[in-house]
Amino acid sequence: MALKLYSEKRNFKNTPEPTAKKVKAGKTLEFVVQRHNASHLHYDFRLEMGGVLKSWAVPKGPSLNPKHKRLAMMVEDHPYEYRKFEGEIPKGNYGAGTVEIWDKGTYSPLTSSQNKVETQLLKELKSGNLKFVMKGEKLKGEFALVKLKTESKRQNEWLLIKHRDQYSVDEEYSSEAYPSLTAQKDSKVTGKAKKESKATTVQKKTPAITLNRPGRFSKKVHLENYVKPMLAKETDVPFDNPSWIFEIKWDGYRSIAETGKDLKFYSRNGISFLDQYPEIAVELKKIKSSLILDGEVTALDKDGTPNFQLLQNFDPSRAALVYYVFDILKKDDRNLTMLPLEERKEILRETLKSINNNVIRYSDHIVGEGKKFFALVSEKNMEGIIAKNAQSDYVEGARTSNWIKIKNHKGQEAVIAGFTEPRKSRKYFGSLVLGVYEGGSLKYSGHTGTGFSDKTLKSLYDQLSALVTEISPFKEKIKTNMPVTWVKPKLVCNVKFAEMTNEGIMRHPVFMGLRENKPAKEVMNEKKKKVNQLLQNK
Ligand code: MN
């Protein structure tokens, strides 16, 4: 196959893919594996040979397990330039979808012969039995591509097989569990201008990739076997108790890590985090022993304060990712879940001390004095504390009263600016659209759909119905999930919330009741109000 077929399938005015060009081979032969999220997700396995890239589409992706014989469909030759290609192939074009470089490197034939390297490879290719050694970042060691001898018309079916060597593994291997090199690179250069290439110009149309990438891959990696973390009940009141310990409630994503040979790192629902948090995955990979750790992925700002918003829009120049570990379930072959928590934490502390990794940190606790600790945490504007019975077992997936979260809710007054249509069985309205005054105009500050009893739903609805107006009280356009009925901004309510974003939007505010006799115009962002007062008193 020459590059004719490659060109025939593509219109280079509409796709950022490189045009067909043969090149003279360099001294080393290169390979690339591209993750191609097209109508069907597959991995394109390409070996440089004779000035082009010999190409196979591997639906399941390459594996390092010799038992996995991956079907590889030979496709048309691709130009040598294609090894650098990553980006979006626009809709309507051949192979429309996203291409990411998953692995790259050099390769050489396994058997040495009198022939020139490429002559040898082309000979093996023709015979349907290609053996080679890969030097990539993920794919290493000996591999074979073996053509299936089918009588049928399907002449292009091959198997990609890893040979047993020091790089092969015995566990299940899923390429999806490992981030593409594109993803790793993106997370390092977020915010910086990328190299100008035809591919990235097209890529710009897609939103910037942040470390929190829900839906980054059309297919989330759901693990089949995973540990469900133990959960906590909730209360508002801190307490003291000498047989309890108190930890900081980290504001991030709960995650379990299974370290060792077959690294797993995932959310409480078993969705792999290996792609989402490559910075942490890389550090976890360094742990050789097999541990099961329970903790929270947290973004710390420059002052070392956890900040959920920084995690959501993660930018390595502004924040550091840390995996705070507060429990250990397994060490080597030893199940630790039946040990009392205080013993598990001691083992964890020692284990992490020996690992000595600044990204994977021990989440310490204080004993007995929950009230003082809560006051301290609240003062620091942190989310709250977790109280844990020091003698308790670790019970997978259970919400027990041995773990209790005590949240530091902040109070805020807010003006009701509208209400949304109810969903499902809810009567009257879905949520309240809230605002606060800033410089004389009402500014959106979030919406709350919780905290109402049936009685308050009805009484609020009656009061709001009398205030309905066609005009939004906001200057800005507000996005809501459901249609909004605007009201005159007269009613003021109290809400509690866990955190306010830098834009002054409350996260998960809870309705606490109407605030009577309060002029709406006096409702401001409490935090900013305090700052203003301080400035005035100076
Ligand atoms: Mn493809």
Q: Which neighbouring-strand residues pair with 292? A: 258, 330
pLDDT tier at 119 (50, 70, 90 boundaries)?
Answer: confident
CA of 44 to the centre of ligand 1 (A): 5
pLDDT surpasses 90 at 499: no
CA of 169 to the centre of ligand 1 (A): 26
Q: CA separation (Å) from 371 to 52, 243, 247, 526, 538? A: 69, 14, 12, 24, 33
The pLDDT of 196-203, averaged and rounded, is: 32
Most confident of 350-354, 418-422, 472-476: 350-354
Question: Is residue 425 packed enough to be buried (19+ CB in 10 Å), middle (13-18) or exposed (0-12)?
Answer: exposed
pLDDT tier at 219 (50, 70, 90 boundaries)?
Answer: very low
- The per-residue pLDDT for range 1-14, each reduced to its tens digit, is 579 889 988 998 88
Q: Which residues contact 263 (CB under 8 A, 6 or more apart)?
A: 257, 274, 281, 284, 285
CA of 456 to the centre of ligand 1 (A): 57
The pLDDT score that the predictor gives to residue 152 is 58
Looking at the whole model, is its pTM more than 0.85?
A: no
The whole-angstrom separation of Cα 81 and Cα 70 is 26
The pLDDT score that the predictor gives to residue 25 is 65
Domains in the chain, ordered, with CATH? Answer: 3-182 (no CATH), 231-402 (3.30.470.30), 411-537 (2.40.50.140)
- The per-residue pLDDT for range 231-274, each reduced to its tens digit, is 998 887 899 999 999 999 987 889 999 999 999 999 988 889 99
The whole-angstrom separation of Cα 412 and Cα 410 is 7
- CB-based contact 132:143 (threshold 8 Å): yes
The pLDDT score that the predictor gives to residue 324 is 96
AA identity, residue 352 = L
User: pLDDT exceeding 90 applies to what percent of the chain?
Assistant: 48
The pLDDT score that the predictor gives to residue 117 is 85
User: Long-range pairs for 4-12 at CB < 8 Å and ≥24 separation?
Assistant: 5/76, 5/77, 6/76, 6/77, 6/78, 6/79, 9/76, 9/94, 10/93, 10/94, 11/93
CA of 73 to the centre of ligand 1 (A): 10
CA of 95 to the centre of ligand 1 (A): 6
The pLDDT of 481-505, averaged and rounded, is: 85
- The per-residue pLDDT for range 205-218, each reduced to its tens digit, is 222 223 333 333 33
pLDDT surpasses 50 at 394: yes
CA of 96 to the centre of ligand 1 (A): 9
Comparing 9-13, 157-161, 173-177, the range with the smallest average pLDDT is 173-177
pLDDT surpasses 90 at 413: no
Q: Single out the catalytic residue among 54, 249, 264, 407.
A: 249
Residue 69 a catalytic site member: no
The pLDDT score that the predictor gives to residue 90 is 87
pLDDT surpasses 80 at 529: no
The pLDDT score that the predictor gives to residue 538 is 34
The pLDDT of 275-280, averaged and rounded, is: 87
The pLDDT of 432-459, averaged and rounded, is: 89
pLDDT tier at 372 (50, 70, 90 boundaries)?
Answer: very high
DSSP class per residue in 256-308: EEE-SSS-EEEETTSBB-TTT-HHHHHHHHT--S-EEEEEEEEEE-TTS-B-H
pLDDT surpasses 60 at 401: yes
pLDDT tier at 150 (50, 70, 90 boundaries)?
Answer: low
The pLDDT score that the predictor gives to residue 217 is 35
Buried b (16+ CB within 10 A) or exposed e, 359-394: ebbbbebeeebbeebbeebbeeebbbbbbbbbebbb
The whole-angstrom separation of Cα 201 and Cα 402 is 54
- CB-based contact 520:493 (threshold 8 Å): no
493 in the Ramachandran plot: left (φ > 0), alpha (ψ -120 to 50) or beta? beta
pLDDT surpasses 80 at 220: no
